[in-house]
Chain A
Amino acid sequence: MQQSRMKCFCRLLAMICAAAWMSFSSPVAEAAGENRQHTIAVSQFIKHPALDALLRGFMEHLESAQIPVKYVVHIANGDQALNESIARDIGAENPDLVLAISTPSSQACLKVLPNTTILFSAVTDPVGAGLVESLSKPGARITGMTDMSPIEQQIKLITGLVPELKTIGVIYNNNESNSVSLVRIIEQECARQGIGLVKKAVGNGKEVATAAQSLVGNCDAIYAPTDNTVVSVIESVARICAKHRLPLFAADVDSIPRGAVATLAIDYYSMGRQTGRMAERIFAGEAPSSMPVEWQEDLRIHVNTKAAEVMGVELPVDLLQAADVIYDSFPE
């Protein structure tokens, strides 16, 4: 316990330094003295490109809005115990706003911090996770953004690209409540579209490759949901899929250059900027209770031609036409 606190403290110091540099980079606001400097404690459950992009978008929006902010960033490395201890640390820091990125971080912060305003983001199912009572009327001091994937469209995209698709395989961490919620929705959607679903639950990142291997031959395509564990090792899944010419589809755009064929997804960077706008509104004095939970307005289609080639997916013109970004790279 003592050790993990030390680790946490070290990380904290590093973050403060980074934040200090960021605050110096907006000297105009400082000089004007119109805006008081705000303190934002960030609790991120795990480090992976989508969540990192979200945080980057958030910070860049506030920076472009010229709002001086001091950040204290905590990353739990996917460790639930550390996640809770981070929440307690944040309580001691007494920030103006807590930005909780991902469902576990949001849950821990809500449980541990009784009075602090919490802005969450990248939470798949805020109601199911017990964060808000309803999407339109969240709670007294909490609101945020859901990253609920457009699962219906995603599955349509997959069926459009894989002719004669009968079964989809899905890998998820059943310890992540957001993933469990997602899989439930995927199951319903597949049933509605008449597609079979093979679920492979894993406990950690090391089990993902084994799960992917076990899906080979049992499905016509693999769908990687916005599961933090799976997305963190998406390259290993991509390699297995390439070897067996099994198309891999992702639910986030950052997985596309990392080896997935295509996605129709939330752009986490955009979502970060949108979350930043919500923070801006809170700092402007708007009450979180009156701010409904927002959903990413912009869906993006990202395509990887190289991944499509190695996984044997023909990309029709209309998909390429609708694609916002086209990649041509595959992880070695």
Chain B
Amino acid sequence: MLRSIKTKVLLLIVGIMLATALILVYFTKRDVGEAVLGMEEKSIRNAMYLIKLNVENEYKSLLFHKIAMLTERKEQMKSLAAVVMAGINDYQQLAEQGRIAEDEAKRLALDSIQKLRDESGAHFFVYDEHSVVLGHPNPALIGQDLSSLKDVKGLSLFDSMLKKSMREGDGYASFSWDDMNTGNTTKQLGYFVFYPKWNWMIATAIQTEDLEQEAEKKLNLVIKELKSTFDKTQIAKTGYLILFNGKKEILIDPRNSADALLAAKDPSSGELLLDKFMAAAKHPEQPIKYLWDDPSNTEDGQSRYESYAEYFKTLNWYIVSVARESEIQAPAKTVVLRQTLFIAVIFAASILIAYFLVKGISQHLKKLTDHAKQLPAHDFSAPETELPKIEQLAVKYKDEVGKLAEAFLFMEASLQQYIQDLKETTAAKERIESELAIARDIQMSILPKLFPAFPERPEFDIYATVKPAREVGGDFYDFFFVDESHLFFALGDVSGKGIPASLFMAVSTAFLRASATRGVNLDEVMARVNTKLCAGNDTCMFVTVFCGLLDIRTGEVICSDGGHNPPLLIASKDGVDFLHARKSSALGVFEDMRYYTQEFVLKEGDALFLYTDGVTEAMNTEDELYSEERLKESILELRDRPVKDITREMIERIEEFARGAPQADDITMLVLRYTGPAS
């Protein structure tokens, strides 16, 4: 299974894609997830920060409102005091003008001051430079020394105001006043003016409890406004903000679960949630996590929550965000999930595409493989048989598959052509071979092949054999009686091989036969044949011939050597030796050559061994020649054997020597043994 390229490529692609997908998912989860979670947490912190800014602004406006109220109140007191001063001045003027006595004027002035009450609740009193009250709405105080009365700075109120007013004209002071009627201590703001003409200190006092109350009201308004802001502020999906103060009074609680919140504890630590929040406010940038009741969680009614806390120290307020941890993490999880899904889809799509792509390629390869497998069985000589269509692959695809298909097509075409050529060549060769076989038959028919050739002649034994190197050869032998007692014998070797040589050999044999007739001398025979061969020998072929004429009555032999190998004379008594007759030139080379003859006598039992150079120059695989020495030794061993055996044995020996090396030249042998005159 793993061996197929398709599987390997697919596995590789799946591996790479899987690794990439895993890395992507990992980094998405780590970086994107954290970034989105961070953004979510930051948005909560930003919301908290905005709320805090809002609170700060509200507080600032509250503060300015307080200051504005005070300034207004002070201005109001100042103008009231001016009115009072004007009244006193009127009485003083009357006294000065002498219309009334000064004491009377003072009494009337004090009376009017005592009765004076402004709708804002301001009242007036007068004291002298010894801190003794001269006039006051409360008659019980008149005549009392109030120098022990201290202001909020811890100074003697009357004395310090006297000094300040003397120095600067007027002054404000804050002090507490024990109301004699109600017994309550009230906070008062006083405006003090010195009236130098009578050395009086005129004080305008007003309760300021209402200012506190108004500030309180304003603060409640701020809380109300904040409440609407809190209602609009969404933390995560269903989270919310709560506001409580350092005394653990819940000020804003959008879920109306104040009581539950007060008693809520983190089950893991047993700590009160509010305490936890207050502690967390020291690190507003760090969230706290805890377990809390969650009605929407049907499983165990509890969920993990995450909160940020901000402390607004000025008002001792704590602003806390409450949101389920799962909701805060949800966007990050969604993003990670979406990214992961996206990656998974891309992964699957890529694998699918890769699968089809690889399948497509491998399919073509398989087609080509199948095609290639069919090739050996295909008969290319029959063009009409059809192979699987791969032409369209070569046409359709320009890639490696197309090129491979093209190569297949080219190979097929070449094979077809080659087989066609081969067929033709083989036919031609077969024709030539059959012709050669015929030629060989014809050639062999030229040579006498019937042995024993002359069974009626006991005087001699003759045997000859030819083993051509090819179908036809240039070697030949021949023997025939020229008259009743003379046997002509010849052995020749045409230069070259094959058909030309065989043709030349046929001509040579024919000429020899024609020339060697009764009464003609052997030299003349050779000369005649030479002349005939030379005539029109344009191919410059020639033939070496050893021929002889045996007188079967006496054993006398006349021989002529036309450039041939020296024959072996096998003497029945003296052994074997080469017969070195006088050499003449080969036939067919030069016209008008003279051929020499030689005579010798074969004794009874003596024999002549004629051969061509195919014997002595037979080569073995080590390029050694069979050589005349080996020939001589072999013939010596074989000399007593019948003539037929000698030639057969010699062929065996030569073959044995050649050890399988191809026969380079025709091998022809002729043995003639003279057995003696007929009795």
Within 8 A of B (CB), among A274-332: 297-299, 301, 305, 308-309, 311-318, 320-322, 324, 326
What's the minimum C-beta distance from B165 to chain A, rounded to whole angstroms? 11
What's the minimum C-beta distance from A297 to chain B, rounded to whole angstroms? 5
A320 x B154 contact (CB < 8 A): no
Q: Which residues of A contact B153 (CB under 8 A)?
A: 150, 153, 264, 299, 301, 322
A153 x B154 contact (CB < 8 A): yes
B507 interfacial by beta-carbon distance below 8 Å? no
A322 x B66 contact (CB < 8 A): no
Most chain A CB atoms below 10 A, which of B59, B69, B154: B154
Most chain B CB atoms below 10 A, which of A245, A305, A315, A322: A322
Give per-residue flags for B446-482: 1 if the beta carbon is below 8 A from chain A beta carbons, else 0.
Answer: 0000000000000000000000000000000000000
Q: Which residues of A contact B67 (CB under 8 A)?
A: 305, 320, 326
What's the minimum C-beta distance from A329 to chain B, rounded to whole angstroms? 14
Give per-residue flags for B644-676: 1 if the beta carbon is below 8 A from chain A beta carbons, else 0.
Answer: 000000000000000000000000000000000
Q: Which residues of A contact B515 (CB under 8 A)?
A: none
Taking a contact as CB atoms closer than 8 A, the residue among B154, B160, B163, B189 that contacts A321 in the complex is B189
A152 interfacial by beta-carbon distance below 8 Å? yes
Most chain B CB atoms below 10 A, which of A298, A299, A318: A318
A114 interfacial by beta-carbon distance below 8 Å? no
Known: A150-B153, A245-B313, A326-B67. A317 touches B160 (CB 8 A): no
Residue on A nearest B208 in the bound complex, by CB? A321
Give per-residue flags for A42-62: 1 if the beta carbon is below 8 A from chain B beta carbons, else 0.
Answer: 000000000000000000000
A297 x B60 contact (CB < 8 A): no
A179 to B60, CA, bound (A): 36
Residue on B nearest A309 in the bound complex, by CB? B314
B70 interfacial by beta-carbon distance below 8 Å? yes
What's the minimum C-beta distance from A167 to chain B, rounded to whole angstroms? 16
A194 interfacial by beta-carbon distance below 8 Å? no
Q: Which residues of A contact B433 (CB under 8 A)?
A: none
B154 x A297 contact (CB < 8 A): no
A320 x B152 contact (CB < 8 A): no
Q: Which residues of A contact B70 (CB under 8 A)?
A: 317, 320-321
B187 interfacial by beta-carbon distance below 8 Å? yes
B211 x A321 contact (CB < 8 A): yes
A298 to B212, CA, bound (A): 27
Taking a contact as CB atoms closer than 8 A, the residue among B56, B154, B246, B315 that contacts A299 in the complex is B154
What's the minimum C-beta distance from B591 to chain A, rounded to whole angstroms? 141
Q: Which residues of B contact A314 (CB under 8 A)?
A: 314-316
Residue on A nearest B211 in the bound complex, by CB? A317
B215 interfacial by beta-carbon distance below 8 Å? yes
Q: Which residues of B contact A153 (CB under 8 A)?
A: 153-154
B155 x A312 contact (CB < 8 A): no
Interface size class of B (residues with CB under 8 A): 20 to 34
B154 x A317 contact (CB < 8 A): no
B313 x A317 contact (CB < 8 A): no
Known: A322-B152, A322-B153. A317 touches B56 (CB 8 A): no
Q: Which residues of A contact B174 (CB under 8 A)?
A: 318, 321-322
What's the minimum C-beta distance from A87 to chain B, rounded to whole angstroms? 33
B100 interfacial by beta-carbon distance below 8 Å? no
A298 to B172, CA, bound (A): 12
B63 x A318 contact (CB < 8 A): no
B164 interfacial by beta-carbon distance below 8 Å? yes
A117 to B89, CA, bound (A): 46
A316 to B69, CA, bound (A): 13
Majority-rule SS of B interface residues: helix
Q: Which residues of B contact A313 (CB under 8 A)?
A: 313-314
A318 x B152 contact (CB < 8 A): yes
Q: Which residues of A contact B316 (CB under 8 A)?
A: 163, 314
A309 to B315, CA, bound (A): 10
A150 to B160, CA, bound (A): 15
Known: A264-B153, A314-B315, A322-B153. A305 touches B63 (CB 8 A): yes
Residue on A nearest B189 in the bound complex, by CB? A321
A245 to B312, CA, bound (A): 10
What's the minimum C-beta distance from B268 to chain A, rounded to whole angstroms? 28
What's the minimum C-beta distance from B28 to chain A, rounded to whole angstroms? 39
A309 x B60 contact (CB < 8 A): yes
Give per-residue flags for B5-40: 1 if the beta carbon is below 8 A from chain A beta carbons, else 0.
Answer: 000000000000000000000000000000000000
B189 x A309 contact (CB < 8 A): no
Give per-residue flags for A146-169: 1 if the beta carbon is below 8 A from chain B beta carbons, else 0.
Answer: 000010110010000001100000
Q: Which residues of B contact A305 (CB under 8 A)?
A: 63, 67
What's the minimum C-beta distance from B351 to chain A, rounded to whole angstroms? 59
A318 x B160 contact (CB < 8 A): no
What's the minimum C-beta distance from B192 to chain A, rounded to whole angstroms? 13
Residue on A nearest B215 in the bound complex, by CB? A317
A317 x B208 contact (CB < 8 A): yes
Taking a contact as CB atoms closer than 8 A, the residue among A298, A318, A320, A322 that contacts B163 in the complex is A298
B164 x A317 contact (CB < 8 A): no
Q: Which residues of A contact B212 (CB under 8 A)?
A: 316-318
What's the minimum C-beta distance from B483 to chain A, rounded to whole angstroms? 157
Residue on B nearest A311 in the bound complex, by CB? B313
A153 to B154, CA, bound (A): 7
Residue on A nearest B187 in the bound complex, by CB? A318
Give per-residue flags for B146-168: 1 if the beta carbon is below 8 A from chain A beta carbons, else 0.
Answer: 00000111110000100110000
A207 to B37, CA, bound (A): 44
Residue on B nearest A264 in the bound complex, by CB? B153
Within 8 A of B (CB), among A1-41: none
14 contacts between A and B (CB under 8 A): A150-B153, A153-B154, A156-B154, A301-B153, A309-B59, A309-B60, A312-B314, A315-B66, A318-B152, A318-B212, A320-B67, A321-B174, A321-B208, A322-B174
B residues with CB within 8 A of A: 56, 59-60, 63, 66-67, 69-70, 151-155, 160, 163-164, 172-174, 187, 189, 208, 211-212, 215, 246, 312-316
Known: A156-B154, A316-B212, A320-B66. 9 other contacts (CB 8 A): A298-B164, A299-B154, A309-B63, A311-B313, A312-B313, A313-B314, A321-B189, A321-B208, A322-B173
A residues with CB within 8 A of B: 150, 152-153, 156, 163-164, 245, 264, 297-299, 301, 305, 308-309, 311-318, 320-322, 324, 326
Q: Please provide the 4 A-B residue pairs with the shortest distance between their CB atoms, ordered closest to farther.
A: A312-B313, A322-B174, A153-B154, A299-B153
